[in-house]
Amino acid sequence: MSPAERLVRDAALLGVPLAAAQAARLLTLLDELERWNRSYNLTAIDSREEMITHHLLDSLSISPDLAGARIADVGTGAGFPGLPLAIANPSRQFTLIDSNGKKVRFVAHAAAALALGNVTALKARAEALRPQPPFDTVTARALAPLPKLLAQLAPLCGPATRVLAMKGRWPGDELEKLPAPWRLTGSRTIEVPGLDAERCVLILSMSTG
């Protein structure tokens, strides 16, 4: 089985349908990441196998939880989960936000190299932004404990915004400190094929009541 065929198979296990061309694009993204990583140290993961599980499949795992047309990925780093999600969801618009200029330059380069017209790379701090209208979904992967994370994301969000917080093990202590007006509206554990680690996604929104 080729790497692309395996990627299609494993994404399907996550509930994410991938066309062969999308799988090829995802693998090209890793080619670019490996090339830049040799000079710019964008990610500590340098094994191709781990890049597929930790970057591609882990990112794609929350694709079924996206809502709406305008998605923000905060603390995107080298573009994860935003770039794989953009490849898998070409009809949605993605804004990938990070304060690290080197990583944002890579995101912009990768988006251009892969002809991803639905990606905008933005060097900024999320708390300094005031998008109008707010984003439909905001994603964040292992960025900060929930109280701090939600304070950073709040300026991007409105009452209808869905926040997807990607976590490892269940963050019970963080959820006990969930600040008003935030509430947990859903959650699920995720089993990423080939990744021997706990994963879950928390779905949060601002309460209007």
Q: What percent of the chain has pLDDT over 70?
A: 99
Asked whether residue 75 carries a pLDDT value surpassing 60, the answer given is yes
> Which pLDDT tens digit goes with each residue over 140-178?
997 789 999 999 999 999 999 999 999 999 999 999 999
Parallel, antiparallel or unpaired: strands 200-206 and 182-189: antiparallel
The pTM for the full model equals 0.96
Asked whether residue 208 carries a pLDDT value surpassing 80, the answer given is no
Is there a contact between 144 and 167 (Cβ–Cβ < 8 Å)?
no
- Give the pair of three-digit tokens for residue 156: 């991007």
Query: Check: CATH 3.30.470.20 for 3-206?
Result: no
How many C-alpha atoms does 45 have within 13 Å on its Cβ side?
Answer: 14
Domain ranges of the chain: 3-206
* Cα separation, 158 vs 6, whole angstroms: 38
> Which pLDDT tens digit goes with each residue over 181-194?
999 999 999 999 99
DSSP labels for 56-106?
IIHHHTTGGG--SSEEEEET-TTTTTHHHHHHH-TTSEEEEEES-HHHHHH
* Cα separation, 161 vs 164, whole angstroms: 10
Q: What is the pLDDT of residue 209?
A: 57
Is there a contact between 26 and 113 (Cβ–Cβ < 8 Å)?
no
Mean pLDDT taken over the chain: 94
Radius of gyration of the chain (CA): 16
- Give the pair of three-digit tokens for residue 60: 């794609």
Per mean pLDDT, which range of 36-50, 57-71, 73-87 is the poorest? 36-50
Give the bridge partners for 165, in sequence order: 140, 202
Q: What is the pLDDT of residue 32?
A: 96
> Which pLDDT tens digit goes with each residue over 8-59?
999 999 999 999 999 999 999 999 999 999 888 888 888 889 999 999 999 9
Q: H or E segment at 121?
A: strand 119-123
How many C-alpha atoms does 48 have within 13 Å on its Cβ side?
Answer: 11
In order of 2, 126, 157, the CA distances from 205 in angstroms are 40, 17, 9
Q: Which amino acid type is present at position 133?
A: P
Is there a contact between 135 and 126 (Cβ–Cβ < 8 Å)?
no
Q: Which residue has the tokens 């694709």?
A: 63
> Which pLDDT tens digit goes with each residue over 100-144?
999 999 999 999 999 999 999 999 999 999 999 999 999 999 778
